A and B are shown apart, each in its own frame.
Chain A
Amino acid sequence: GQNIDQPTEMTATEGAIVQINCTYQTSGFNGLFWYQQHAGEAPTFLSYNVLDGLEEKGRFSSFLSRSKGYSYLLLKELQMKDSASYLCAVVDSNYQLIWGAGTKLIIKP
């Protein structure tokens, strides 16, 4: 079966750096998305990786290793507004999105 694993919850301190990991086992691979979802709101797009390596976008970076079935989202200079759930999703061979359960990130002052 297809599977996406992420930690359920993480806690970090304001101003620090946090890395959220995602491992996947899917039938084929056509890219990996990271979405941010604040409580009670819709998911919003953060990043997309289809090739190995690091993509940097401001305070957020996303890394992909296709051979290891692994990605991470790196958040720098954490702010209180970064408290949210972070969803990892993989595009499979049928161009369907397979979603992880999400990682709830709690930022403490």
Chain B
Amino acid sequence: NAGVTQTPKFRVLKTGQSMTLLCAQDMNHEYMYWYRQDPGMGLRLIHYSVGEGTTAKGEVPDGYNVSRLKKQNFLLGLESAAPSQTSVYFCASLAGNLATDTQYFGPGTRLTVL
């Protein structure tokens, strides 16, 4: 039982390049989330999904796209990376709702955009 895994762990991009971050969970959780974490700021929600085939915008969705084609996977795409997207990205999953369950986080992806 691996829990929540993220690929890659580190990445350096040049401005304008694109990339996809992969999040996978083996706990059969319905909800999945993408956050970014910047120094001195709380975790900020980028996009989330309440089930296979569904996605929704969070607090800071601009510049990112997501897809949830399979229940266990949640992909985060950057079409044209900008230096402002330099951050640590965390994926999380949740079995039910936040009133009864806790989020489980992946190890994070450190992204630098030059």
Contacts and interface: CB of A to CB of B under 8 A. Distances in A.
A89 B1 CA distance: 27
B21 to A, nearest CB: 14
Interface in B78-107: 90, 97-99, 102-107
Interface string A38-63: 00111111001010000000000000
Contacts of B13: none
Identify whether the interface residues of B are mostly helix, strand, loop, or mixed: loop
A50 B101 CA distance: 12
Contacts of A45: 102-104
Chain A, interface residues (CB within 8 Å), range: 20 to 34
A12 interface: no
A106 interface: no
A97 B107 CA distance: 19
B2 interface: no
Contact of A99 (B42, B97, B105): B42
Contact of A101 (B41, B97, B102): B41
26 contacts: A4-B42, A30-B99, A31-B98, A33-B102, A42-B90, A42-B105, A42-B106, A42-B108, A43-B105, A44-B105, A45-B104, A50-B99, A89-B43, A95-B97, A95-B99, A96-B45, A96-B58, A96-B98, A97-B43, A97-B45, A97-B98, A97-B103, A99-B42, A99-B44, A101-B40, A101-B42
